[in-house]
Chains A and B, each alone.
Chain A
Amino acid sequence: MNALLQVDNVSVRFGGLQALDDVSLDIAPGEIAGLIGPNGAGKTTLFNAIGGLVPLRSGGITFDGVDIHRLPAHRRAGLGIGRSFQNLGLMQEQTVETNLLAGLHLNAGYGVLSPLAQPARFVAAEGASRESVTAALDAVGLGDHHQRVVADLSFGVARLVEVAGLLSRHPQLLLLDEPTTGLDAVESEQLKAVLRDAVASGTTLLVVAHDVGFIMDLCRVVHVLAEGRVLYSGSPTGAQNDHRVIESYLGSARR
């Protein structure tokens, strides 16, 4: 099968620091792939490179058959790439509802001046957005959180809100940057269930997590990154037995 996302020999430099060094990996459609590696390995940088938030020094990125590595970030989002942020991609001072509606920017199919006359198309689109928000929050058991201000939520709840918002956009590919950090065991299970549902309805996932159990449980493929290089790509059990992976990451994580 053709890969949905194809990262080819990507290198990213920050001044003297080689954050990504000739990274190549493929994500198949419908896959739940894990991305693990020690802090500073370049996981977030890889997400930024895929999303268009940092320029590549060399290499290429193909998404759904389209060469995207020169497209601006908002265009890549428009192609169906969604992502969460390590420190929450939400507006802290706004309500949950406003955040989720804002996240549906691309799904709101009307022109920017259309709100002036509010034609039926606009009213329908806004109504549909509000319905998706309600459905998304209900799906994570936060149906009564519409008017809560994000800053007043616990980190775990805010994370669920963020993921719910991302899923309401039905991205083709969803990049999740350490979504389990700061979640308690119950929230973590809930997240896992929500992600499995998302994959069942057609979303492809690439998940960064330090919670090795979470990754082993959820993913059928893992990629291990260390010092900007891919150490290992393959099955989770294979990763656990790979001596380079144990040395650079799993070993230190177990310590």
Chain B
Amino acid sequence: MPNSTDTRSASFASRLREKLRSHRPTTKTTLQIGLPTVLLLLIAPITSDVTLFKIGLLLLFAVAAVGLHVLVNWAGELSLAHAGMVGLPALVVAKLSSDHNLSPLELAPIGILIGFALGAVVAATARRVSGLYVTIVTLAAGLAIDRFFFTKPWLVGTGNLKLTAPRLAGLEFGSIQAIYPIIVVVFIGSVFATRRLLDSKLGRALLTVRSDPTIAQAQGINVPAYRAAAYMFAGALAGLAGGFMPLWAQRVTPDSFPLELSFTYLAVVVVAGRGSINGVLGAALLIEGFRQFLSGTSFIAAYLGPVALIVTLTRFPGGLNQFGRMIGGQLAGVVGRFRPGRSPGDAEG
């Protein structure tokens, strides 16, 4: 047991920390949003359109991956329907845009709603089963989207869709350089919003549900509702990414969302590991980034996801986040004893 001096100094430290915390948000928020936004925007003028296009695809990929990260690494659920949850909203937005001469930019938010609804459907199915059967049920859902919707001419049309030029509030977004900032905003906004949700009772409830549903119930957490919320959140972010796909890619076909893409998403969140969103961004860069930018060396691209997944599961079950925590711990040790409170999930082994 600590003696009274220890207790007093500890509570002084925590009070100081509390003070710092209450003053920090504005600076912290500005840094969290501002710095990455500026960095991402600075890339645009110094890269070719082809590279910028790939970066945009990677950002949208990461948005969807963050959704799956919450589902898998926070809620402890699983989904192999994620590609379908990106693809279906993308195709619906493309189709509406092409049929009704609407701007894909204005239609993009519809993707969130479609993804959210798909998430609710998958949640309703998945709640009736557990363990391995969740994998099978979500795989079946992914297959159903693929086989049913992706083959319907009324949705995928015949050949390429002709998209209307993106515009919003009278502004035309004619070039990839003009659209890019929108994608950056979608990406930063999703990451920031997710961080905030996870760093609240929502994230802590998901952690408890994953750790032990019985304990969660006894703490007043509505376990089925939170599980469903995780599926709907994952669906909403997948739908957000999908909804902006037509705007960015100008052309979407079912081929852009093969079933194996669901596997790639899963590989990314497994490699990321439990905890911070940073891990999933790193894993997305590693796996999908390699695929995008090394498409010439397709051999590596094809095997990187599966290999990374197997290596992670067998050698580093904590994933990139575990590395991050180790390095963070070392740094903190060097910097000194005083360090600000860790956010939930950061402490996982």
Contacts and interface: CB of A to CB of B under 8 A. Distances in A.
Contact of A143 (B2, B193, B349): B2
A109 to B, nearest CB: 10
B207 A138 contact: no
Interface string A237-250: 00000000000000
A93 B73 CA distance: 13
A91 B206 CA distance: 12
A83 B218 contact: yes
Interface in A50-105: 51-53, 72-74, 77-78, 82-83, 85, 89-95, 97-98, 101-105
Given A118-B196, A134-B11, A105 B2 contact: no
B197 interface: yes
A144 interface: yes
B10 interface: yes
Contacts of A151: 349
Given A77-B220, A112-B229, A105 B214 contact: no
Contacts of B214: 53, 85
A147 B341 contact: yes
Contacts of B14: 134, 143, 146
Contacts of B347: 93-95, 98, 147, 149
Contacts of A85: 214-215, 218
B330 interface: no
A51 B219 contact: no
Contact of B197 (A53, A74, A105, A115): A115
Interface in A160-213: 186
Nearest to A82: B218
Nearest to B13: A144
Interface in A35-59: 51-53
B344 A98 contact: yes
Interface residues of A, number: 51
The interface residues of chain B, by DSSP majority, are classed as helix
Contact of A144 (B7, B18, B204, B217): B7
A127 B219 contact: no
Given A115-B200, A147-B341, A149-B349, A77 B208 contact: no
Nearest to A187: B1
Contact of A103 (B193, B196, B219): B219
Nearest to A81: B218
B7 A138 contact: yes
B341 A116 contact: no
B275 to A, nearest CB: 10
A237 B68 CA distance: 59
A141 B1 CA distance: 7
B202 interface: yes
A104 B344 CA distance: 14
A143 B222 CA distance: 30
Contacts of A153: none
Given A93-B211, A93-B347, A94-B347, A112 B341 contact: no
A108 to B, nearest CB: 4
Contacts of A74: 216-217, 219-223
A175 B186 CA distance: 47
Interface string B5-23: 0110011001000100010
A126 B208 contact: no
A82 B217 CA distance: 10
A106 interface: yes
B194 to A, nearest CB: 10
A92 B208 CA distance: 10
Contact of A126 (B11, B200, B205, B215): B200
A130 interface: yes
A146 B7 CA distance: 12
Contact of A98 (B204, B217, B218): B204
A159 to B, nearest CB: 14
A136 to B, nearest CB: 12
By Cβ-Cβ distance, the 10 closest A-B pairs, closest first, are A77-B220, A115-B200, A73-B217, A102-B204, A144-B10, A106-B220, A91-B211, A108-B201, A95-B347, A98-B344
Interface of B: 1-2, 6-7, 10-11, 14, 18, 22, 25, 193, 196-197, 199-202, 204-205, 207-208, 211-212, 214-223, 229, 341-342, 344-345, 347-349
Given A74-B221, A91-B215, A94-B345, 5 more contacts: A74-B219, A85-B214, A102-B208, A141-B7, A146-B341
Interface of A: 51-53, 72-74, 77-78, 82-83, 85, 89-95, 97-98, 101-106, 108, 110, 112-116, 118, 122-123, 126-127, 130-131, 134, 138, 141-144, 146-147, 149, 151, 186
24 contacts: A53-B217, A74-B221, A77-B219, A77-B220, A91-B207, A93-B349, A94-B347, A94-B348, A98-B207, A101-B204, A102-B207, A102-B219, A105-B204, A105-B220, A110-B201, A115-B197, A116-B193, A126-B200, A127-B22, A130-B18, A144-B6, A147-B341, A151-B349, A186-B1
